[in-house]
Amino acid sequence: MLQTALTTALPDIIKEFHVTANAGQWLTSGFSLAMGIMIPATAFLIKRLPTKVLFITSMLLFGGGSLLAAIAPIFPILLAGRIIQSLGTGILLSLTQVVILTIYPPEKQGGVMGIYGLAASAAPIIAPTITGLLIDYMSWRIIFWTGLVVAVADILLALVVVKNVLPTEKLRFDWPSFLLISAAFTGTTLGFGNLGTAPFMSLGIVGPLLVAVVTGAAFVYRGLHIDKPLLDLHVFKDQVFRTAVILSVLMYAVLMAVSTIFPIYVQTVHHLSATMSGLIMMPGALIMAVMSPITGRLYDRFGIRPLAIVGVLLVLVSTVGTSFLSVGTSVLYLTVTWAMRSAGLSFLMMPIVTWSVTQLSGGAIASASAVLTTLRTVAGAVGASVGVALMSFVANRGVTGHTVVATAGGVNAAFIMMAGIVTVMAVIVFLKVRSTKPTVQVVEEGTK
């Protein structure tokens, strides 16, 4: 929930710390970036450390980051707390997913991943609603105090109920690969994040992107030529996995961009409170929570194709529907379109993750899970950065003296871009997504 909890609170935080929208959105995109960098390391940690130790470590990081953010007197400390939080979240997401896909047989994975989707997929959608209800009556800091309480409760429960269910082995950590992928992800996010504040061909944009290309290429080359890579890229040999990765990357870019921009639009253009912003999102959040386990069972019964088609069409219609917003757009219309988007995402998020590993087995599942979660998380950070940058760029060139109208124009430009991305997703779904049955083993980790 803490991945997107600050999207509704961003206007208040921006105002309190006197920072720009581009700086404020780093509380979301920076969280996603740090989480994305941590996930490849988690692929190693899962194999090296006992399940129980790793789970408690993730909660200690999350709790420590929550405490630091809750007491932050200045914006950089708040951002540091968010990044420490994200390290714990990165470990937890990968660990939980690998445990589920390891201990359950393929015919039950869809239903169980649907339940897991309540945390991994529905919670980020629900979070802005809960945040909106809280911050109008309390400070935004209550979000982090709540996170600290949850972390402490998780640690106490884990001491009793968490068991070591994954095998461990002595491995050496691949530091060169970790540094290369960290530089690649950071350069990508920084480069795209500077789009709203720097000229297109400036050093602030071209420099980080060039670093990202060079280090990313070096990481791929190294990963394909050493025996024990940080992430096993051979899983990309499987066409199902490749398609799932592309869809997940595009989907998370749209999800995080929309989740960041929508509350800004509601509170800045309509001058509605954070509570109203949360209430507008509430029906969608409830739909997401209810549908997540249901779509898991539907996946087990019907496969991925019908779910993906329904999901992508709902997301496309809702995204196009929010590409022409104005000062006079009704609250009811906003509520319905947001609910439609949430329903569509529930048909896509966890079913695609489950489908991605249907042709994999053994150690390949852990690597595939880490690769998929890493790329979609970083895509979320880039999506939020690009969305806010485009919104700011268009708004700053809007009608002088009409800030509200200019902001609405910027929001529409961002949503039009998102609609284009979802259109690409729809084409991929219709052409490439087919319901498949699990096989014994098609891709095994380390095959060449």
What pLDDT is recorded for position 69?
94
348 versus 268: the higher-pLDDT residue is: 348
Residue 279: name the closest of 407, 126, 112 by CA.
126
Q: What is the DSSP letter of 122?
A: I
Question: Residue 396 has what pLDDT?
Answer: 78
**Mean pLDDT, residues 215-241:** 87
Q: Using an 8 Å Cβ cutoff, are 6 and 13 in contact? A: yes
Is it the case that residue 151 has pLDDT exceeding 80?
yes
57 with 91: CB under 8 angstroms? yes
Average of per-residue pLDDT across 34-40: 83
For residue 430, which of 345, 319, 305, 311 has the smallest C-alpha distance? Answer: 305
Which of 237, 255, 280 shows the shortest CA–CA distance to 345? 255
pLDDT in tens, 342-357: 899 989 988 898 888 7
Architecture category of domain 6-164+176-432 in CATH: Up-down Bundle (1.20)
Proportion of the chain above pLDDT 90, given as a percent: 32
Please give the Cα distance from 33 to 188 (Å, whole number). Answer: 10
Angle in degrees, 0-180, between the axes of helices 75-103 and 106-117, rounded to the nearest 10: 160
Which of these, 287, 275, 406, lies nearest to 337 by C-alpha position? 287
In this prediction, residue 300 has a pLDDT band, given cuts at 50, 70 and 90, of: confident
Of 236-245, 309-318, 402-411, which has the strongest mean pLDDT? 309-318
The residue among 441 and 38 whose pLDDT is bigger is: 38
Q: Does 444 score more than 50 pLDDT?
A: no
- Output the pLDDT for position 247: 95
Pick left, alpha or beta for residue 402 (phi over 0 → left; psi -120 to 50 → alpha; otherwise beta): beta
What's the pLDDT band for 325 if we cut at 50, 70, 90? confident
Model confidence at 193: pLDDT above 80: no
Asked whether the predicted pLDDT for residue 445 surpasses 60, the reply is: no
Local confidence band at 197 (pLDDT 50, 70, 90 cut-offs):
low
- Residue range 47-77, pLDDT digits in tens: 888 989 999 999 999 999 999 999 999 999 9
| Average pLDDT value for the chain | 84
Residue 439 has pLDDT above 70, yes or no: no
Residue 129 clears pLDDT 90, i.e. is over it: no
pLDDT in tens, 104-123: 887 787 778 778 877 776 67
40 membership: H or E segment, kind and range: helix 26-48
Residue extents of the structural domains in the chain? 6-164+176-432
Percentage of the residues of the chain whose pLDDT score is greater than 70: 93
pLDDT tens for each residue of 366-410: 778 778 888 888 888 788 888 888 888 888 776 555 677 778 888
CB neighbourhood size of 427 (10 A): 10
Closest by CA to 92, choosing from 119, 112, 114, 122, is 119
CB 310 within 8 A of CB 346: no
Q: Report yes or no: 228 and 174 within 8 Å, Cβ to Cβ.
A: yes
Give me the pLDDT at residue 154, please.
Answer: 95
pLDDT at residue 121, rounded to an integer: 65
**What phi and psi, each to the nearest 5 degrees, are found at residue 441?**
-175, 120
Could you tell me the two tokens for 116?
A: 């897991």
Work out the average pLDDT over 419-425: 96
Q: Determine the pLDDT at residue 8.
A: 75
Tokens matching residue 185? 């992800």
pTM tops 0.85, yes or no: no
pLDDT at 19: 86
Enumerate the H helices of 49-120 as residue ranges: 51-70, 75-103, 106-117
